[in-house]
Amino acid sequence: MSFIAEIFNQYPAIFKTYNVYLLCINIVGMILMGVDKAKAKKNQWRIQELTFMIMALLGGAIGILIGMVTFHHKQSKKKFYIGIPLLYIINKVIQFITYHYLLNY
């Protein structure tokens, strides 16, 4: 375990902060998918689709995608079964560029 900590400590603080941000936004995205699914079953007020799209655009696409698959939610909507994977690809391109910039900072 100290090997992982040793490697992680070699990176700048901003790199670590960015990774924590990505982890948090993806966890929140997955949880929101679960909450929305539970509310849908009870015919209660729902989370707006725009909220999911904005979260996915801000780096949470994989969390939303995992939430879609885990909770079987919004899988039949074209906006989601095409849009979220597309935003995931965009996220990966942005992450690649960001990592390159942060590691050469």
pLDDT tens digits in sequence order for the chain, 105 residues long? 688 778 778 878 888 888 899 999 999 999 999 999 999 999 999 999 999 999 999 999 999 999 999 999 988 999 999 999 999 999 999 999 988 887 786
- Domain boundaries along the sequence of the chain: 30-103
pLDDT number for residue 1: 64
pLDDT number for residue 4: 76
Q: How far apart are CA 7 and CA 18, in angstroms?
A: 16
Q: How far apart are CA 31 and CA 36, in angstroms?
A: 9
pLDDT number for residue 89: 96
| CA nearest to 71, candidates 35, 23, 27 | 35
The pTM (predicted TM-score) of the whole model is 0.85
